[in-house]
Structure 1
Amino acid sequence: MTGNEATTAHDTRPTVTVIGLGNLGRALARTLLRAGHRTTVWNRSPGRADALVAAGAVRADTVDQAVAAADLVIVCVLDHDTVRRLLGPAAGALAGRVVVNLTSGTPQSARELGAWVTEQGAAYLSGAVYGVPETIGTPETFVLYSGPSHAFDTHSEQLELLGASTFVGTDAGLASVYDIALLGGMYGMFAGFFHAVALADSAGIKAEELTELLVRWLTGAAGALPGFAREIDSGDYATETSNLAINAAGLGNILSASRAQGVSTDLLAPLHVLFRQQIDQGHAASSLSRAIESLRAASRPA
């Protein structure tokens, strides 16, 4: 036995497998390797593993081999259907392992996949990554996890290597709920940005010129969100400042000006509808945050 083999034989750290070597998957595997973990990798196109193998990873020929090689199995592929198709033939090797699925999907598909993995005798953690591949393993990235708390606790050291890790609950679908909520907020910001740029463009203002000012404005405006959150959680929407009537008038002006400039109001008009709904119900003097009640009502059965 060589010195390296002896070291490996006495290494009690959990072994790790990464299934799926897209940009994110490769970054995850590199981070684990740099931390000294025995890491097995698998990808449908084997060539994607070459650089990782050169750095010390073990290439598995099949998903079954990849699963059998590790205590902790991290999956990062296209979608949850792909996860299920890949792990299906390896079902017999899953027992006793922890499967961490960092593949994007819906809360329901996460719960269904988690139930199936559990039936195979493994523990399932659903995860959502917030960071680009280049920032994996740095303080810039954070990752949310949900599923059995014991599985998270057992591998918290390895998971923390990937980014600041937060356990959000035992429901396997909860990380996905957080994910779609956070991404929804992001796309809402993008919608406002696109409308702002289109409006500026109608007057010959360059996007870069506007954006420098917009980033400054939005950074400050984001400071209002924690206060809105407290109002929403408490149900107390009383305010002496920026109420629904003021904001409905302001947004109405923006919509009118946009139409006059020939700019579509499709992105912002629905928000005005929410404001008007709450005003029509007698809440003109309430905080802007009360608009969420129209969204809540829309999601509740009559």
Structure 2
Amino acid sequence: MVSQLSEKAAVSEKATGERAVTVIGLGPMGQAMAGAYLDAGYEVTVWNRTAAKADALVARGAHRAATPGAALAANELVVLSLTDHDALYAILDPVADALAGRVLVNLSSDTPERAREAAAWAAGHGAEYLTGGVQCPPSGIGAAGSSTFYSGPKEVFEAHAAALKVLTGADYRGTDPGLAALYYQIQMDMFWTAMLSYLHATAITAANGITAQEFLPYAQSTMASLPDFLAFYAPRIDAGTHDGDVDKLAMGVASVEHVLHTAESSGVGTALPAAVLDVFRRGMERGHGGDSFTSLLEVFHEG
């Protein structure tokens, strides 16, 4: 009880500091975030389950909190950089009585629904809550051009926007706490699928005696062409038109079949092109052979 009271007493001393922040979670991303705040002249308090991960930051001037409760008590603004929401609850549920008056900025990856649940949980303990989706690796923290999605109460975001922008640019998506997580996950949907396609293509090149370095300019050229395709198809998709005037799904099926056969003859696994081909064929079964490949949205919507 004494330790809890001392932790709460510390709030009056530092919680109102405009350039003070707590960072909980010191993996590579949390380390980069705490470091960016130190570089910007913030008073930084850190906590991590493995205390030694804070050593380098403490050597630079950060304060090491002995407990999660002490980390919460140190500052109003608390940035969370954790694996997921399970980690959030494991760390903060036991000290939930210290959440009142805090502003939790959760930059941990998870689903939109879990972000909404966490926001409600935080509100139930008297805390404000912002969801964040960081769109860069740790090396991008503090760098120009990096950005993070945010959602939650607009007044809370605006009150702390300057501190958040120390980390990256801030792209506010709306009051629904699930929106930042949603935007982050759909970005990851595209990123990992595209990068996996690159690895699969690179495996085929390697099987045919072509190095990744030799393939690089062609891989870059293909990826660089994608924005033009997205810009062309987006208004058609919003209009609900899938005219086969530029591309036809039947042609796409033949193309993916050729990719699959090329991988097979190269001795490379075909699971990825086979999955793509399955989606294309399901579109064909629904009578979309003469429509654009964007008609496959119907397949995805049906689950």
Q: Taking structure 2 as the reference length, what is the TM-score of the superposition?
A: 0.88
* Paired residues of 1:131 and 1:140 also in contact (CA < 8 A): no
Q: What is the aligned length?
A: 290
Distance 1:102 1:145 in 2: 9
Q: Which moved more, 1:226-235 or 1:286-295?
A: 226-235
**Any idea what SS the aligned residue of 2:116 has?**
helix
State the superposition RMSD in angstroms.
2.1
Letter in 1 for 2:135: Y
1:96 matched to which residue of 2? 101
Q: CA deviation at 1:115?
A: 1.3
The answer to whether residue 272 in structure 2 is matched with residue 261 in structure 1 is no
Aligned match for 2:138, one of 133, 139, 147: 133
1:27 matched to which residue of 2? 32
Q: CA deviation at 1:65?
A: 1.1
Distance 2:73 2:145 in 1: 32
Distance 1:270 1:251 in 2: 10
**Any idea what SS the aligned residue of 2:289 has?**
coil
* Paired residues of 2:102 and 2:128 also in contact (CA < 8 A): yes
Written as runs of structure 1 = structure 2, the 5 A alignment for 1:126-275 is 126-275=131-280
Q: Which moved more, 1:278-287 or 1:146-155?
A: 278-287
* Paired residues of 2:19 and 2:41 also in contact (CA < 8 A): no
**Any idea what SS the aligned residue of 2:166 has?**
helix
1:41 matched to which residue of 2? 46
**Any idea what SS the aligned residue of 1:39 has?**
strand
Q: CA deviation at 1:283?
A: 2.3
Q: CA deviation at 1:296?
A: 0.9
Aligned match for 1:60, one of 49, 65, 79: 65
1:110 matched to which residue of 2? 115
Q: Which moved more, 1:176-185 or 1:222-231?
A: 222-231
* Paired residues of 2:79 and 2:107 also in contact (CA < 8 A): yes
Distance 2:17 2:131 in 1: 25
How has the CA–CA distance of structure 1 residues 254 and 51 changed in structure 2, closer, same or farther, with 3 Å as cutoff?
closer
What do the CA deviations read for 1:229-270 (whole angstroms, capped 9, x no partner)?
222222111242122222222222222333333333210122
Distance 1:43 1:187 in 2: 29
| Sequence identity percentage | 37
How has the CA–CA distance of structure 1 residues 202 and 57 changed in structure 2, closer, same or farther, with 3 Å as cutoff?
closer
2:9 matched to which residue of 1? none
Q: CA deviation at 1:18?
A: 0.6
Distance 1:49 1:255 in 2: 49
Q: Taking structure 1 as the reference length, what is the TM-score of the superposition?
A: 0.88
* Paired residues of 1:15 and 1:72 also in contact (CA < 8 A): yes
